[in-house]
Structure 1
Amino acid sequence: MQLGSGNDQLMSEINVTPFVDVMLVLLIIFMVTAPMMVQGVDVELPTASSEALPTDEDNLIVSVDNDLKVYINDLEVSVAFLSEKLGAVMENLDKKQVYLKADKKVPYGVVVNVMSQIKKAGVDSLGMITLPEDQETTREKN
């Protein structure tokens, strides 16, 4: 006695229903999370909660004060000549690393302009100096 039709072929169809279900769930997840990734978070600069980096006396610090004056360490420099002066100062240094310290009230466009001048000077690494959050709250109370 033979059971079945006698045709011993394997079923060659793949059931795609579970695959489609998983893809739809992933699509819904991405649709829900995509708008959250575009929105920004309100941040009051220049405070930071990161730990302080070890200080090195040879670091170059470019500062922008409240009067929009730019300094390389303690030397006042015009923004127009910043890249030239900074390039001349960095010729003798092994690491081309600069830290930018800008006053909280300096307009964002001025800071971006100074950053572009620093990059024109051939700086490999540009860091931002901020005040830690705990020092900022202590300073505001006084």
Structure 2
Amino acid sequence: MITEINVTPLVDIMLVLLIIFMVTASYIVRDSIDVKLPEAATGEKQKVSILAVTIDADGKLRLNGKAADENAIRRFIREESKRSKKKMEAVIAADKRVSHGQVVRVIDLVRAEGIYKFAINVLKPDK
């Protein structure tokens, strides 16, 4: 009489562990590795100019880290678009206590000046 070991449950468990490992490994690598990129003589310069607009809890605007008002942001966008041929994109970071209307007003402001690509900066929640 020849008896065989049933390996089906073992294979099932190993596949589940492999899937869990593959999913979590990508998050671990992405969040923890600090990479210093090499330089290349044939690399291209960035063709996009990033405009960073911050709205603090009091509703005050900051442009690239410096205090600004809506008119200063308009002037900066116009001057930068004349000076540089780079496409401009905006990153808008607003305090979570700021009203939705203030964020929409800043989005309208940058869109009125010709910046149609923008991102809303958020924090990744801890799990």
TM-score (normalised: structure 1): 0.49
Unaligned runs of 5+ in 1: 1-50, 138-142
Q: Using the alignment, how far apart are the partners of 1:131 and 1:93 within structure 2?
A: 31
Structure 1 86/75 Cα, relative in aligned 2: closer, same or farther at 3 Å?
Answer: farther
Deviates more, 1:83-92 or 1:95-104: 83-92
- Aligned counterpart, 1:17: none
C-alpha RMSD of matched pairs (Å):
2.7
Q: Which amino acid aligns with 2:107?
A: M
Structure 1 121/114 Cα, relative in aligned 2: closer, same or farther at 3 Å?
Answer: same
8 Å CA contact 1:98, 1:126 repeated in 2 = yes
Unaligned runs of 5+ in 2: 1-29, 32-45
- Aligned counterpart, 1:119: 111
- Aligned counterpart, 2:90: 98
8 Å CA contact 2:61, 2:67 repeated in 1 = yes
Q: Deviations over 1:23-58 (max 9, x none)?
A: xxxxxxxxxxxxxxxxxxxxxxxxxxxx99xxx8x5
SS at match of 1:123: coil
Asked whether 1:87 is paired with 2:78, we answer yes
Post-superposition shift, 1:96? 1.4
Larger Rg: 1
Q: Using the alignment, how far apart are the partners of 2:51 and 2:85 within structure 1?
A: 10
Structure scoring higher RCO (CA < 8 A, sep ≥ 6) equals: 1
Q: Deviations over 1:102-124 (max 9, x none)?
A: 11000111111111001111113
Q: Using the alignment, how far apart are the partners of 1:63 and 1:107 within structure 2?
A: 13
Q: How many pairs align?
A: 82
Q: Which amino acid aligns with 2:120?
A: M
Q: In structure 1, which of residues 50, 73, 88 is the aligned counterpart of residue 64 of structure 2?
A: 73
Q: Using the alignment, how far apart are the partners of 1:59 and 1:109 within structure 2?
A: 23
SS at match of 1:59: strand
Q: Percent identity?
A: 22
8 Å CA contact 1:97, 1:126 repeated in 2 = yes
